[in-house]
Each structure stands twice: as C-alpha cells, then as structure tokens.
Amino acid sequence: MDVRSSEPELRALMIAGLDGDATAHRALLEKLSGQLRAYFKRQLNRIGRGPVEAEDLVQEALIAIHTRRHTYDRSQLFTPWVYAIARYKFLDYLRRTKVSAADVPIDEAQELAVHDDSAHVESSLDLKRLLAELSPRARQTIQYVKLDGLSVSEAAARSGMSESAVKVSVHRGLKALARLIREEKRS
Amino acid sequence: MKTDELIDMLSTNVEPVKQGRLRKTLVWALVVGGAAAFCVMLATVGLRTGLTDGFLPGYLTLKLLFTLSLIGVGAALLERLMRPGQDGRKLFAFVLLPFIIVVCAGVASLVFGQPMAWGRMIFGMQWATCLLCIPLFAVVPFAALIWALRKGAPTDLTRAGAIAGLVAGALSATAYAFHCPDDSVPFIAIWYGTLVALCGVLGAMVGPRLLRW
C-alpha cells in the first residue's frame, strides 16, 4: 500500500466514522488491522516473538483507536495519529514484558503504511471470558449494542436505562475491556 | 478471538463524536483546578491586606505576568500532548521563556540594587510560607489536569506529566500571588521560578505511573 494514496483515504474514512458512519468506521478498522499486523509482526520479530503476540497487539491497538478516536484532531494528518498509538502500544508492551526498548530499533512513521498483512491468526484473548469480567451493566449494554446490534434506543428500553446512560456504559465498558486486555498480557 | 470479530463489535452502532470535547475537558480542569487553588489560599493564608480595594497593584501584575504566561503556553502544550502524534515541539521552547525573562530581570535588579539589600530582596518576609504553599496549592490543580489528560491519549507520558505539573504549579503560584507580601523581582525569580519548576519535575516523575493507558 502506498503512503500517499492511503493517507487521504484513511483520513476520509476516519472523519466519516467520527460523524457516525459505521460502514466507513468498519472499512477503516479493516484497513488499519492489516497495516498494524505487518507493523507489530516486524517489530516483534526483532525480539523473537511470534504472530499470536502480534495479533494481541493488533487488537489492543484497534480498541485504543476506537475508544480514543475523539483525540484525533480533524485538521491534522491521520497517519501520524495512528502511528503514535501503534508505537505507544508497542513500547507499552515492551515495558510490561520487560524487554529493554534500547534493544529494539523503532521504525519510522511511514513504515506503518508501507506494509499490509491480512494473515488470519487468532489472538490469545477470549472475548467471552473478558466480557464476563466487566460490570453486569457494562456487559449487558455491550452485548445489546455492540454484539446483538440493537439500536441504542432499543437497548435503553430493554435495560430500563436512558439512552445517554447506555452510550456512556458502552464507552466505559470498551475502555474497561481495553484495560483488561492490557493486564491480561502482563507477563 | 479473531480480529474480524473485534472489528464487527467495534463497528456496530458507531456513535458520532462531538468535536471539541477534549478541549472542553482541559478547560474545565484548568478552571476547577485554578478555583480550587484560590479557595485553598483563601482558607489557609488569606488575601494580602490592601488587596480588597479592587485595583490591580503593580507588584501583583508582575507575578501574574509570569504565572499566566506559563499557564497559557502550558495549556496550549497540554492540548497537543493529550493527542497522539502531536508533540508540540515548537511550543516547548516557549515554556522556558517566562523563566529566562524572570531570572534575567531578577539578576538585573540585584546588580542595580544595593548589595546591603540583597538578603531582603531574595528572602523577603515569607520565603518559607511560599516554599510550603506553592507545592501544597498545586495538588488539586495537578489532580484535575491528570484527570483531563487521562480522557485523552497522551503518548509521551513523562513530558505530559511535566507540563501538567508545571501548569499546576503556575496555577498554584497565581493563587499564592494574592497572598504573597514579597514584591522584589529576585524573590519572584528564585521562589516562584524554582517552585513552579519543581512542580514540573515532580509531574515528570509521576506522569508515567498516572497516565498509562
């Protein structure tokens, strides 16, 4: 994938997703997952770790990109934003797993967009088990809105909560999920 | 878990994101933190006598110029540091500027002043109160700024912690200025300057621990 052609495309998808376009958001996450996979595999390869860890990191980065998407400033380029998240998650992984960052040369920004990898490896994470660790309210709203695909108003009616409470609960639940995944991988 | 399942989950019912939400969070933290520092000042040491007349005396203006310029640059930096991919490198030098100016002014006023008066200019009447109050008043603003940063996604945690500490220190020094009876420029340079910088150093030390995500 060429950097110059992907930046405007990814940025357009991101902005559409920020405005609530689910199709664009899905397309964005799919494209990014390929780039992130190539990036993490290459980085992990240098410290002798395999594709399962890479997939864990891809998923962690995707959740971060989703739950922190309000930190993207629409007036700025999109690629540096995504790359900074990927790099942060990789350095955080190194710190948690006690590999010295000095041992690993960190790639430059453009490398993220140059490679793409769509190999289908499963991560070590078990979504059902992780969901079970959330608060009952967060688990239920994520089940309704994110897994069963109910609209927010349907989920609100079914759970007896207000619509804004459902939205807040889903957002907090996803952030809690990200935290659980991070803790899961502390070794 | 397959990544496709995760993408399915994340892209079901995507809520629109309001623009400017993050900036609003930061402004809130600055306002609440600043107000809290001011209230703690009122509750502990109280306003300087003669300040209730309702005009802004020259000596207060000088202190406020130093602290408010730091808050301004620091807030602009925090707004960038809480977003991935924006390090605000160009702004970083401007943080040093208020320090450099106040130190130069302090040295100049010592050089042109009477050496006999140096002790009084440097230590003033209440250097020890200043030493205690600025770090103490900075606690609530620092907590508020860390809360705001955690709503964002800072990727350089040491730097974000340092600037949060610096801005908290400057908010605290702003509140303390309304009590402070010492008006010499060397006093401001040494005590205000050092203590605000110290808050920045402490922020840099605890930042990585508090801001991880």
B191: amino acid identity, one letter: W
- Which residue bears the tokens 């006023």? B109
B27 Cβ partners below 8 Å, 6+ apart? none
Q: How far apart are CA B56 and CA B76, in angstroms?
A: 26
- Phi-psi domain of A100 (left: phi exceeds 0; alpha: psi -120 through 50; beta: other): beta
B2 chain-A contacts, CB cut-off 8 A: 120, 122-123
Answer with the residue of higher pLDDT: A115 or B20.
B20
DSSP string of B38-63, one letter each residue = HHHHHHHT-PPTTGGGSS--HHHHHH
* pLDDT surpasses 50 at A2: no
pTM (2 d.p.): 0.87
- Cβ–Cβ < 8 Å for B71, B167: yes
The tens digit of pLDDT for each residue in B34-75 reads 999 999 999 998 888 766 665 566 778 889 999 999 999 999
Instruction: Pick A62's closest partner by Cβ from B6, B152, B155.
Output: B6
The residues of B whose Cβ lies within 8 A of any Cβ of A are: 1-19, 21-22, 82-86, 152-153, 155, 212-213
Instruction: Pick B155's closest partner by Cβ from A29, A88, A151.
Output: A88
Question: Angle at CA B166, nearest 5°, toward B32 and B180?
Answer: 75
Q: State residue B55's pLDDT score.
A: 58
Q: How far apart are the first and last CA of chain B?
A: 21
* pLDDT surpasses 80 at A25: yes
- What are the b/e assignments for B176-187, b being 16+ CB within 10 Å? bbbbbebbbbbb
A-chain residue closest to B9, CA distance: A146
Element (H, E) at B143: helix B139-151
Going by pLDDT thresholds of 50, 70 and 90, the confidence category of residue A39 is very high
Backbone angles phi, psi at B165, to 5 degrees: -65, -45
What's the token pair of residue B38? 């001011």
Helix B58-81 crosses helix B21-44 at what angle (to 10 degrees)? Answer: 140
Nearest residue to B16 via CA among A128, A162, A134, A24 = A24
Residues B6, A25: C-beta atoms closer than 8 Å = no
Going by pLDDT thresholds of 50, 70 and 90, the confidence category of residue A99 is low
A-chain residue closest to B155, CA distance: A88
A150 Cβ partners below 8 Å, 6+ apart? A144, A158, B13
Q: How far apart are CA A24 and CA B136, in angstroms?
A: 49
* pLDDT surpasses 80 at A38: yes
Residues B85, A80: C-beta atoms closer than 8 Å = yes
* pLDDT surpasses 50 at A48: yes
Q: How far apart are CA A91 and CA A83, in angstroms?
A: 12
B8 chain-A contacts, CB cut-off 8 A: 26
Residues B83, A72: C-beta atoms closer than 8 Å = yes
A62 chain-B contacts, CB cut-off 8 A: 3, 6-7, 10
Residue B68 burial by Cβ neighbours in a 10 Å radius (0-12, 13-18, 19+): middle
Going by pLDDT thresholds of 50, 70 and 90, the confidence category of residue A1 is very low
The tens digit of pLDDT for each residue in B90-142 reads 888 899 999 999 999 999 988 888 888 888 888 888 888 889 999 999 999 99
Answer with the residue of higher pLDDT: B157 or B93.
B157
A2: amino acid identity, one letter: D
B32 Cβ partners below 8 Å, 6+ apart? B144
What's the token pair of residue A79? 């690629």
Q: How far is CA B125 from CA A150, B92, B110, B119, B193, in A?
A: 67, 34, 17, 10, 17
- Cβ–Cβ < 8 Å for A77, A87: no
Residues B12, A145: C-beta atoms closer than 8 Å = yes
